[in-house]
């Protein structure tokens, strides 16, 4: 089961609900992504398909090029990233980011005609969505997929949450956690993961920047609604005692930008009722 960090379970039956919808020929059960594939935000996968694709990725290290672009044309030589390394040695060590069911970025050879054309490839060189190549790889292998019942609420075309197995009407507004429990199997809260990008790197996308405060305030509200009160108390006590910040991109160095980002996130959480 692939679950993004901004997914919550709403019924004890949620996992069995997904399992019951998987047919013998399906490789996945999930929602239909706007990029025209079943995406891994809240999706049940057949394990043998994931393992088969992983083996395929490992056993087909060539060609030495990324091809996720218009007409599957050559977009970037991998050797340009690691010019001083032997490709096979580098591929074996770094396979997590370049290959695998959810990370495969190499696309297909120029001239390939797929059963379902990936819409993302027209966005330019190197464009891909996690799990997009897995989807098309599995379809080419003859697998089917199940698009389960779901409902996405939105305001002015801004998606807010996708409810899987929902039994409530679309109110065109942001539902609170307490309104959703028992009314759907799971919920994917749009923007929850993207809202924390600021802790990793400068955010330049205006869409993400403009909605980050409301997304983070929502995270704080849901945290207060869902997490047991004793765990909340312990968490906040630990933050008060040890502080709360990040250490940059995998290093011990904390820049002024990192500190400013942490302060900004704290302010957003305060708007959602979480203070320390």
Which is more confidently placed, 193 or 1?
1
Roughly how many angstroms between the first and final C-alpha of the chain, as a whole number?
A: 34
Give me the helices (H) in 145-255, please.
Answer: 177-180, 206-226, 229-242
CA distance 215 to 165: 23
pLDDT for residue 62: 62
Domain positions in the chain: 10-147, 191-276
| C-alpha gyration radius of the chain | 21
φ, ψ for residue 32, nearest 5 deg: -90, 115
**To the nearest whole percent, how much of the chain has pLDDT over 70?**
82
Indicate the DSSP class of residue 162: E
Indicate the DSSP class of residue 120: G
pLDDT for residue 135: 95
pLDDT for residue 23: 97
Give residue 192's pLDDT band: very low, low, confident or very high (50, 70, 90).
confident
Give me the helices (H) in the chain, please.
Answer: 14-21, 47-59, 87-98, 132-140, 177-180, 206-226, 229-242, 256-271
pLDDT for residue 140: 95
Give residue 21's pLDDT band: very low, low, confident or very high (50, 70, 90).
very high
Is the pLDDT assigned to residue 75 strictly greater than 70?
Answer: no
Is the pLDDT assigned to residue 92 strictly greater than 60?
Answer: no
pLDDT tens by residue, 56-70: 887 876 655 667 666
- If you search the block for the tokens 């909605």, which residue do you land on? 211
pLDDT tens by residue, 218-233: 999 999 998 999 999 9
Give residue 83's pLDDT band: very low, low, confident or very high (50, 70, 90).
very low
Return mean pLDDT, the chain: 84
pTM, entire model: 0.81
Is the pLDDT assigned to residue 88 strictly greater than 50?
Answer: no
């Amino acid at each position: 089961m692939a679950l993004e960090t901004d997914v919550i379970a709403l019924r004890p039956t949620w996992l069995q609900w997904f399992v019951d919808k998987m047919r013998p020929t399906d490789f996945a059960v999930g929602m239909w992504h706007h990029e025209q594939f079943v995406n891994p935000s809240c999706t049940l996968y057949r394990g043998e398909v994931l393992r088969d694709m992983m083996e395929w990725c490992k056993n087909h290290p060539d060609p030495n090029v990324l091809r996720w672009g218009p007409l599957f044309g050559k977009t970037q030589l991998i050797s340009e990233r690691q010019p001083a390394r032997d490709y096979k040695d580098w591929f074996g060590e770094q396979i997590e980011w370049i290959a695998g069911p959810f990370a495969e970025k190499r696309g297909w050879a120029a001239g390939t005609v797929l059963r379902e054309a990936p819409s993302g490839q027209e966005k330019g060189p190197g464009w891909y969505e996690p799990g997009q190549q897995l989807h098309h790889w599995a379809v080419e292998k003859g697998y089917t997929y199940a698009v389960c019942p779901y409902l996405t609420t939105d305001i002015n075309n801004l998606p807010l949450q996708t409810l899987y197995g929902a039994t409530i009407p679309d109110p065109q507004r942001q539902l609170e956690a307490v309104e959703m429990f028992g009314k759907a199997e799971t919920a994917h809260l749009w923007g929850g993961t993207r809202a924390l990008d600021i802790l990793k790197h400068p955010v330049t996308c205006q869409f993400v920047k403009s909605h980050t405060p409301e997304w983070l305030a929502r995270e704080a509200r849901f945290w207060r609604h869902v997490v047991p009160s004793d765990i909340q108390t312990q968490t906040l006590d630990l933050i008060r005692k040890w502080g709360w910040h990040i250490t940059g991109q995998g290093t011990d160095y904390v820049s002024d930008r990192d500190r400013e980002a942490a302060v900004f996130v704290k302010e957003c959480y305060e708007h959602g009722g979480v203070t320390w």
